[in-house]
Chains A and B, each alone.
Chain A
């Protein structure tokens, strides 16, 4: 199993709906997780970090971490066309100061 895995998509969601992005991780990944948004041709932008089991909300974004099942998700409420981007899930490696990224999920919000 790769350290951080994501479905590459594309995931198509109607405007105004909830977009749900998922990520699973291996035992080699520690308990700090990050979601980055990357527009085509641009660099990744940090949008959420989560360190504890449970939910963390920030505006329209909610990150969820389930340590028992080893998955982390990002929910985007009231999806907007401007949310169309690739979403990268990342985690830090156990006993190693580096971040491992998944391949990213392409999200397409349909107007």
Chain B
């Protein structure tokens, strides 16, 4: 177990709806990254937060947004859901000075119908 938790485990939404996914980082980790993993693909970087500020963003549209809170927990919000948003959403935490050694949570499986 990595100490990173995510909720919910599974979620089914309808196209056009909005969704919020949550992540609680490993104790002491101040950096969180979010990834989208489609079936048969590697994780795709969405964005990263470091000490509550966005610290990098991948090629995802603005309807993907996020927040990091003072306790380093985090949210991923997706507006106007599309069918292609169906995927496993992963958050990963790391310590700021060892940014690349990331520890993943169990993920949230999102299905958009």
Interface residues of A in 75-92 (CB under 8 A from B): 88, 90, 92
CA distance A95 to B5 in the complex (A): 30
A110 at the interface (CB under 8 A from B): no
CA distance A92 to B100 in the complex (A): 7
Question: 17 pairs across A/B with beta carbons < 8 Å?
Answer: A34-B100, A34-B101, A43-B90, A43-B106, A44-B90, A45-B2, A46-B101, A88-B42, A88-B43, A98-B33, A98-B48, A99-B100, A99-B102, A101-B43, A103-B40, A103-B41, A104-B42
Those 10 A-B pairs whose CB atoms lie nearest each other, nearest first: A101-B42, A43-B104, A98-B45, A97-B56, A43-B107, A103-B42, A101-B43, A98-B56, A44-B104, A43-B106
A58 at the interface (CB under 8 A from B): no
Q: Count residues of chain A with CB under 8 A from any CB of chain B.
A: 23
CA distance A55 to B107 in the complex (A): 32
B55 at the interface (CB under 8 A from A): yes
A104: which B residues are within 8 A, CB to CB? 41-42
B8 at the interface (CB under 8 A from A): no
CA distance A4 to B88 in the complex (A): 20
The contact string, 1 if C-beta is below 8 Å from chain B, for chain A 1-40, is: 0001000100000000000000000000000101010000
